[in-house]
A and B are shown apart, each in its own frame.
Chain A
Amino acid sequence: MEAISDRLFNEHTTDNLQDDPSLLTIILDVSPSGWFKIQNVISIQDVVKSLIVYLNSHLSLNNSNQVAFLITSPLKSKFLYPKLDNSNIIKDSVSKDMYRQFKIVDDIILEELNQFLNEMIDKIENNKRSTLTGAISLGLTYTNRMLTLDQSILTTTASAMTTTSLANSNQNSSNITSSSSTSMKSRMLIISANDDDDELTYIPLMNCIFAAQKMKVSIDVAKLGFKNSSYLQQASDATNGIYLHIENPKGLIQVLSTAFFIEPNLRPFIILPANSNVNYRASCFITGKAVDIGYVCSVCLCIMSKLPEKCPACNSEFDKKIIEQLNRVPQIRKKRKLESNGNGNNENNNN
């Protein structure tokens, strides 16, 4: 066997251990229902305090490190940092007690957060879906820019375009990756207390996962609250991130500064706390509920929890014989043997 089997690349991960700057994007989900349920355990205030310490320590690791802070609620998602028009804050950011970069980041985030929460209290309605996918999308577009373009925040389109044209010219052969001209690394941390998975929009989340995979952005998830979120688990699992369900969020700062503090490229060398199980449930196109056994249209691959005549997504008609088989007599085909306990089959003994 040895004569014919020789691996080409054995020295994995050793090439990319340089001390490159890294971008940390934090997405804080402030959906009121989730935080209400854990109000006796921890408040948003405490979590934000921990997050600010976490951000500052990230900034202090390397002075080219970058941070971004997004907030998401059923109302909307928004960048808190970087703030577009930050001239007055930068003006009085000089303080003899504090590193300037820390103070800029901290002040902007706290001010914007307060403003956002006040705004949200006035406008919030019930029955709105989470906009977490919007926040992830925003985070990814920003990351895309930081990875490929000039990194100064006030750059205008003209200078950015010259970089793009370069990037475009070699995209002919490789348009799946955004060719990264800088050696910036990037990761994303989602803090969510939302317990209801069905509030998340499935397809946009999946699109985000694939984009993150392509860009090599790890999605880390710190899940507060009582239940695991299957979709967020999938997001972190598929992007090589860390998912942790933190049942005792009082010690959040410790978790942040240990498990979540390690750069993704160093993670293979460290034994991290892991989830024992990741549930790869999918979402039914018709009902929107999570399913673990479903029917799949072989043309468009949409997932259904029940059997319709026609595909709800691509409109192709299904083979009636197959539907019959799936519905009534599972024993006809050998491989459908054990199907009898699912989906309401009544006539099991027709052999």
Chain B
Amino acid sequence: MDDSDEEYLSGITPSSRFSSIVPESPRSKEGVSTRTRARKSGTTDDNLKGNNGGYSWEDEYQRSWDIVKDDDQQGSFESMVQQIIENRKKKIMKNPATPFQRGIIRTLVIVIDGSNSMAEKDLRPTRLTLSLNYCIDFIIEFFDQNPISQLGIVLMRNGVAHLVSEVSGSPQYHIDKLRQLKIRQHNKFEPSGDASLQNALEMARALLKFNFGTTSNNTKNSKEVLMIYGSLFTSDPGDIHKTIQSLVKDEIKVSIIGLSAQVAICQEIVNRTNHEPKLSRSKHYGVILNESHFKELLMDFVTPLALTEKEKQEEASLNNGVPIIKMGFPSKVQPIVTSTIGNTDFTVEFPQLNASFPTQGSDESKDVVEVNTNTTLLSSTTIGYQCPQCKSRVTNLPTICPVCGLMLILSTHLARSYHHLIPLAPYKEVPIAESYDSEYCYGCQLKFPRGVKPGTHPGVLESMTSSRYRCFKCTNDFCINCDVFVHETLHNCPGCENN
């Protein structure tokens, strides 16, 4: 408690006074509360409260070792088992998302602040760590709800923009990159320097442009930037207003989540790129109040952006059903390069590129931003996917065929959401008995504990649970690990697939 208070009061950096709407230092208690009062009207009071019903800075400091309950020996095992079972049920019962339109290609670039200000400990453990954790959650949710969308991640640090992960449709790829970043946040990528809005936005613009060759047909796609911004100023190499203009021209919509206080330039970026009146309060620019509010703001961006007025009218004019989209499933074409050594022709067959990580592991992944280099040009003309309708080639999926306008997509992108369509029925726990039919888990071949007479061995695992979870379709028994794995990750029942 004492420690963190000292941080609070002494944490006023000279830089934080620039270009902030709130003249007070945001970390002094007064500054924060004026800001929150100003923003209160939009949200309900409950959202502003921390765990104890007060504001988060009034909460008692929670040490991680206090959360772990110090049970006496007997109860601990039982409660552990109970907890595991509870967890399992909670996970499986988690409702599949309510249906809404998933057929929109969103391309999103997440910009994370990695400047000095992110080392602040007003979010626990630090702003950066918490932001990275929330981003991982966000990515999982994002791809769950937007299966045919793509995203990329950029980090602002030392006045430049760093590419963390390229624009790609694979959640795992982004999560791995964020994990790497998290691991090294103390020895290599610790928050440092200033943030540069211009550099980051220019890089985001390049990423979004590079991945969308055509702007002619954007009814089914949107280009977005989501920025998590902890600093209170920006140090730019040029005129940021020019960057804003180009963003508007390229129809890129920027949303910002501020971690400290409202900043005028952020407000302007958001208002201009979202075509809102100047200095109006926008739902695309939020300043967080506490951890849970941060998460709430972030998760709001999972659902596709609302339609603008013009688009709404179009929608209403033909609103008599759900749109149906024609799509093509292209085949991947790999280049065959022949070279001549002596008098013999050699055919070089290139190693396979992974479809879901279009450029991972290949040469051009290293210099995807340097559009001018030869390698990029060479590879973009040779490796590609062929439109099944007009046979023209594109390098990146999903996209819209520049020649015939067919939406091109990998079938694996669509299939990502299919487990919502055909949900797997939950397994039921087998009641405790003296003996069971099954000796081994059908999925992983794990040996089950043997049955015991009820009441003979109190406190022993076998007398509290049968450890067997049965699929009622195929009547096979599974262990708790397989149960969770099958319902969480695999979405197939191995037993049912075998009948």
Contact = CB atoms under 8 A, between A and B. Distances in A.
A301 B443 CA distance: 30
A164 B351 contact: no
B235 to A, nearest CB: 12
A335 B389 contact: no
B273 to A, nearest CB: 19
A173 B136 contact: yes
Given A240-B354, A338-B390, A296 B334 contact: no
Contacts of B410: 280
B498 interface: yes
B342 interface: no
Interface in B291-343: 318, 320-334, 336
Contact of B370 (A2, A8, A307, A326): A2
B354 A237 contact: yes
B146 to A, nearest CB: 11
Contacts of B324: 295-298, 307, 318-319, 322-323, 326
B416 A277 contact: no
A320 interface: yes
Contacts, number: 368
Given A6-B161, A206-B412, A274 B352 contact: yes
B411 A157 contact: no
Residue of B330, B332, B489 contacting most chain A CB atoms (<10 Å): B489
B377 interface: no
A175 B461 contact: no
A50 interface: no
Given A82-B445, A275-B334, 7 more contacts: A5-B161, A6-B161, A9-B164, A138-B443, A138-B498, A154-B447, A270-B351
A298 B103 contact: yes
A142 B491 CA distance: 15
A206 B449 contact: no
Interface stretch (B3-11, B46-54, B171-179): B171-179
Contacts of B357: 240
Contacts of B104: 298
Given A5-B203, A76-B498, A148-B481, A338 B326 contact: no
The secondary-structure label for the interface of chain A is: mixed
B422 interface: yes
A72 to B, nearest CB: 8
Contact of B444 (A141, A201, A320): A141
B102 A133 contact: no
A297 to B, nearest CB: 6
Contacts of A154: 447
B414 interface: yes
B26 interface: no
Contacts of B87: 168
Interface in B412-449: 412, 414-422, 439-440, 443-449
B274 interface: no
A149 to B, nearest CB: 7
Interface stretch (A89-97, A114-122, A183-191, A208-216): A208-216
Interface string A278-320: 1111110000000111111111111100010001011011111
B352 A292 contact: no
Nearest to A334: B405
Contact of B404 (A164, A322, A338): A338
B351 A292 contact: no
Interface residues of A, number: 117
Interface in B359-382: 360-361, 366, 369-372
Contacts of A234: 355, 411-412
B479 interface: yes
B480 A300 contact: no
Contact of A293 (B83, B400, B403, B406): B406
B160 interface: yes
Nearest to B203: A4
Nearest to B466: A157
Residue of B84, B494, B499 contacting most chain A CB atoms (<10 Å): B494
Interface in A224-260: 234, 237-240, 242-243
A82 B440 CA distance: 12
B181 A8 contact: yes
Residue of B200, B371, B446, B488 contacting most chain A CB atoms (<10 Å): B446
B329 A294 contact: yes
B161 A175 contact: no
A204 to B, nearest CB: 5
A10 to B, nearest CB: 7
A293 to B, nearest CB: 5
A163 B390 CA distance: 54
Contacts of A291: 329
B60 interface: no
Contacts of B385: 280
Given A6-B160, A271-B351, A326-B326, A157 B448 contact: yes
Given A131-B497, A318-B322, A300 B91 contact: no
A335 B461 contact: no
Residue of B181, B372, B491 contacting most chain A CB atoms (<10 Å): B491
A145 interface: yes
Contacts of A98: none
A49 interface: no
B411 A282 contact: yes
Nearest to B406: A293
A295 B325 contact: yes
A257 B451 CA distance: 46
Contact of A9 (B180, B327, B352, B372): B180
B482 interface: yes
Interface in A77-127: 77, 79, 82, 84
B105 to A, nearest CB: 11
A60 B388 CA distance: 46
Contacts of B84: 161, 164-165, 168
Given A173-B136, A275-B352, A318-B321, A282 B447 contact: no
Contacts of B177: 8-9
A171 B340 CA distance: 54
